[in-house]
């Protein structure tokens, strides 16, 4: 039976009535809302250069606007049935190439925090999220990337009164489920809001989430859309005293699911065994290349790449043997919301709650799975697997499959795993 944490729901603050003069003559009066924000996990990336903190503006307004736009789609965007309808309304709020946004976003740094190197964060689970920032000479990273932790800033939004119902849900979702910088879906740059948006008092059944959704905003019931939608309460742990501890616990679920002995991998201790996931076997099938004692598949009879549903690209790397397939990348078979990448539908991060506590959080966004994968490999002229390369029944039936009890969905299997173990 799941444990129950206090069931009191947060009172959601009303939109402030402070009216300020706007710098735009088209909107002579604006409502103003300021929020104190603490960044409770390190920030890496988010600057003009990929993977680097911005040396001048640590928290960039364009980045915040991008995050708020995303979370507006995930909350208020449910009301629009097509991408065309969504983009039309989105342009009215957030601007287009030909029309400026009526929403003014301002930031003021309260504390720049301190520098931190990725390889100084030695927690094995946190290191799993930080791997793109750790030294890797083969990938052109001879030294660890430098981030910042302990950052605090003030966010101020100025907006026409008629847009409050669009902006405040997006702001709430970003503060509680999003972040700033790179890899926010793995908990980097996680946010904690101070007054007037206090952290919630949460319960494992998600009543705090559901009541806010239905009673405060009166949002429509979530439906599948071509874009990610915030649809269901997150999974949470029991309260913990420290944000980093909560972050590590949340990341532990993903690391164990994908790589843990007995779950994602055969073997024990320091002796790694073959993966229970079918991607490596599938690549050996497609390339007819691999160590002789690994050429017989232990997973599927036809190529399959279920972990692609957790986000792409995925870099495939074989640690040993000249006969192994060369490294390659799994990419979406087609552009995903106008990008060649596919963000994970799963968000993992610490969530600040009442009483100065934190919970480990796993959130699943409602979104369509990938239409397939494509592989760039020097022994493959081309490979483009359709939807059955990402999800199908036999993924759940072979011996040791991490996806047992599902229709062959890696995302479903992970959420089941986290629900049992968080």
Which residue stretches of 80-219 are H helix?
83-94, 124-129, 164-177, 207-211
pLDDT in tens, 237-258: 999 999 999 999 999 999 999 9
The single-letter DSSP state of residue 371 is S
Q: How far is CA 133 from the centre of its chain?
A: 17
> What secondary structure does DSSP assign to 314-354, as a single string?
EEE---S-TTSPPPEEEEESS-SSSSSSB--SEEEEEEEEG
pLDDT of residue 29: 83
Residue 97 pLDDT > 70: yes
Give the domain ranges of the chain. 19-228, 246-421
Task: Tell me whether strands 271-275 and 146-149 are parallel, antiparallel or unpaired.
Answer: unpaired
From 239-243, 328-332, 393-397, the region with the lowest mean pLDDT = 328-332
Q: Sign of dihedral through CA atoms 213, 216, 221, 226?
A: negative
Residue 3 pLDDT > 50: no
The single-letter DSSP state of residue 216 is I
Tokens of 305: 């790449």
89/69 Cα distance (integer angstroms): 11
Q: What angle do CA 145, 147, 153 make, to 5 degrees?
A: 160
Q: DSSP 3-state assignment of 65?
A: helix
Of the candidates 103, 100, 214, the residue with the CA atom closest to the CA atom of residue 161: 103
335/340 Cα distance (integer angstroms): 5
pLDDT in tens, 105-146: 999 999 999 999 998 988 999 999 998 888 877 777 778 889
385/377 Cα distance (integer angstroms): 14
Report cis status (omega within 30 of 0) of the bond before 313. Answer: yes
Average pLDDT over all residues of the chain: 85
Rg of the Cα trace of the chain? 22
57/213 Cα distance (integer angstroms): 34
Place of tokens 């930031």: 107
404/263 Cα distance (integer angstroms): 11
pLDDT in tens, 38-73: 999 999 987 666 667 777 788 999 999 999 999 999
């Amino acid at each position: 039976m799941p444990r129950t944490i206090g069931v009191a729901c947060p009172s959601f603050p009303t939109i402030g009535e402070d009216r300020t003069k706007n710098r735009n003559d088209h909107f002579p009066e604006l409502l103003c809302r300021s929020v104190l924000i603490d960044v409770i996990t390190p920030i890496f990336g988010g600057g003009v250069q990929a993977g680097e903190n911005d040396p001048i503006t640590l928290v960039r307004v364009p980045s915040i606007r991008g995050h708020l736009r995303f979370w507006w789609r995930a909350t208020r965007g449910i009301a629009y049935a097509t991408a065309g309808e969504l983009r039309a309304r989105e342009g009215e709020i957030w601007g287009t190439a030909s029309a400026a946004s009526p929403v003014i976003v301002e930031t003021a740094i309260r504390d720049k925090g301190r520098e931190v190197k990725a390889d100084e964060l030695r927690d094995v689970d946190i290191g799993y999220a930080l791997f793109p920032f750790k030294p890797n000479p083969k990938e052109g990273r001879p030294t660890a990337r430098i981030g910042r932790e302990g950052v605090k800033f003030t966010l101020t939004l100025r907006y026409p009164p008629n847009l409050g119902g669009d902006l405040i849900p997006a702001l709430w979702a970003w503060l509680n489920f999003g972040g700033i910088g790179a890899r926010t879906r793995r908990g980097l740059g996680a946010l904690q809001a101070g007054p007037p948006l206090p952290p919630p008092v949460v319960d494992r059944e998600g009543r705090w989430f559901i009541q806010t959704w239905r009673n405060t905003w009166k949002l429509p019931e979530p439906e599948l859309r071509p874009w990610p939608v915030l649809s269901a309460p997150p999974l949470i742990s029991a309260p913990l005293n420290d944000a980093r501890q909560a972050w590590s616990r949340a990341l532990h679920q993903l690391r164990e699911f994908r790589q843990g002995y007995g779950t994602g991998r055969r073997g024990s201790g320091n002796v790694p065994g073959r993966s229970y996931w079918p991607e490596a076997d599938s690549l050996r099938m497609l390339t007819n290349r691999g160590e002789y004692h690994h050429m017989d598949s232990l997973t599927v009879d036809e190529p399959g790449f279920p972990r692609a549903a957790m986000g792409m690209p995925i870099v495939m790397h074989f640690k040993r043997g000249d006969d192994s397939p060369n490294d390659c990348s799994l990419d979406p078979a087609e552009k995903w919301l106008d990008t060649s990448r596919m963000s994970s539908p799963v968000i993992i991060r610490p969530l600040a709650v009442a009483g100065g506590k934190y919970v480990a959080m796993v959130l699943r966004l409602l979104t369509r799975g990938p239409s397939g994968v494509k592989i760039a490999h020097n022994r493959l002229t081309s490979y483009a697997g359709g939807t059955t390369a990402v999800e199908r029944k036999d993924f759940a039936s072979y011996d040791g499959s991490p996806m047992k009890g599902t229709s062959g969905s890696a995302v479903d299997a992970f959420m089941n795993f986290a629900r049992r173990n968080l």
